[in-house]
Amino acid sequence: IVVVVIAIICGVTAQNNSHSFRNVVMERCEEYLQKNSHVTRNNDCKIIWAAFEQAYIGKDPCDVSPEAYDPLIRSVKQDAVCNSMLFWSKTKQMAHAFTAKRNCLVTLEDTLLGFMSDGLTWCSKNKSKETFTTGCPGWSDCQNNPVRSFWLKASINFAATACGNVSVMLNGSLETPFSNSSIFGSVEVKNLDPNKVKGLTVLLVTKDTDVTTCRHPSFPNLQTSLNPNIPYNCREVPYSRVEGCISDPEIPCRSCL
Ligand code: AVW
């Protein structure tokens, strides 16, 4: 009897896990489409979920390639908004607090694909039909894990579809604000298309006490990775100004950055 009860409890929890992950993704998808009616047309959360799931279900959690998410990327129909795409690196919280109440800049996590998945963990197992949200490999435990492969593919796609003037928010409080090994440095910069992108502007957010400036020796590395046909720019932006703009969404974008 004890074994049966334990088996039932395990079965039910596993099922709850599968269903709750599906529910979170589906609810976020529906919420996004409700709030962004211009995206609603052409998108079907059920179709998107089916494409999401097929990328990792039944696979070893260290054997999910970025390409497994190609059908998911294709299932999401959302055009890039030119001149407003914002990349970030070591500034996640600030970048999202800034874009939360403003339409002038859009991060990957403000798009349907990124919004559905931000902050979530998921994996399955070889030959399993379940989704687990705990006990999954961490970011660097193995290369081809479902979460890392997802963000890699989503970032490639976000960068490759970018158009017009794009910007990246970097952290001026760090000794090294740009890293070649970050997703921004290793994936996004390299996938910008010079036929579509007019320029890349670094927004280096600095506090009064910071010593890092636009003359930091890590920026020539960025320029080396960047296609030579994409003009590069760097601007130091006071942290206090960004903070002010986060707390008052009425301040126009052009006075913020
Ligand atoms: P980040 P990125 N170990 O602030 O440029 C654990 O460095 O990489 O910015 N987690 C990691 C690791 C790692 N080595 N690397 C990345 N992450 C995860 C998508 C972790 O969740 C957007 F479009 C961390 O909070 C941005 O322009 C997050 O990735 C760009 O990629 C960001 O790491 C930001 O990637």
How far is ligand 1, taken at its centre, from the CA of residue 156, in Å? 13
Q: Which of 82, 104, 142, 214 is catalytic?
A: 82
- Active-site residue, 123 included: no
DSSP string over the chain:
-HHHHHHHHHHHHHHHHHHHHHHHHHHHHHHHHHH-HHHHTT--HHHHHHHHHHHHTTS-TTB--GGGGHHHHHH------TT-BEEEES-HHHHHHHHHT-SS-B-GGGSHHHHHHTT---B--TT----BSSSPPPTTTSTB-HHHHHHHHHHHHHHHT--EEEEEEEETTSS-S--TTSHIIIIIHHH--TTTEEEEEEEEEE-TT----TT-TTHHHHHHHS-TTS-EEEEEEEHHHHHHHHH-TTS-GGGT-
Q: What are the residues facing 206 on neighbouring strands?
A: 238
Please tell me the predicted confidence (pLDDT) of residue 139. 97
Determine the average pLDDT of the residues in 164-173: 98
Whether the predicted pLDDT of 14 surpasses 70: no
Determine the average pLDDT of the residues in 220-230: 97
ipTM higher than the 0.85 cut: yes
Ligand 1 contacts (CB < 6 A) are: 87-90, 92, 108, 139-140, 155, 158, 182-184, 188
How far is ligand 1, taken at its centre, from the CA of residue 148, in Å? 9
pLDDT bracket for residue 41 (50, 70, 90) = confident
Confirm if 160 and 78 have CB atoms less than 8 A apart: no
- Helix axes 239-247 and 92-100, enclosed angle (nearest 10): 40
How far is ligand 1, taken at its centre, from the CA of residue 143, in Å? 14
Position in ligand 1 atom list of the atom nearest CA 88: 27
Please tell me the predicted confidence (pLDDT) of residue 24. 97
Q: Which of 45, 136, 163, 234 is catalytic?
A: 163
In whole numbers, what is the pLDDT of the chain averaged over residues? 95
- Active-site residue, 82 included: yes
How far is ligand 1, taken at its centre, from the CA of residue 214, in Å? 22
* Single pTM value for the model: 0.93
Confirm if 169 and 206 have CB atoms less than 8 A apart: no
pLDDT bracket for residue 38 (50, 70, 90) = confident
- Helix axes 2-35 and 45-56, enclosed angle (nearest 10): 130
Q: What are the residues facing 86 on neighbouring strands?
A: 167
Determine the average pLDDT of the residues in 116-125: 98
Determine the average pLDDT of the residues in 218-236: 97
Nearest CA to ligand 1 atom 13: 139
Please tell me the predicted confidence (pLDDT) of residue 16. 67
Of 69, 115, 139, the residue with max ligand 1 atoms within 8 A of its CB, to mutate for a pocket test, comes to 139
Confirm if 234 and 201 have CB atoms less than 8 A apart: yes
Position in ligand 1 atom list of the atom nearest CA 186: 5
Residue 56 carries which side chain, given as an amino acid letter? Answer: Y
How far is ligand 1, taken at its centre, from the CA of residue 4, in Å? 43
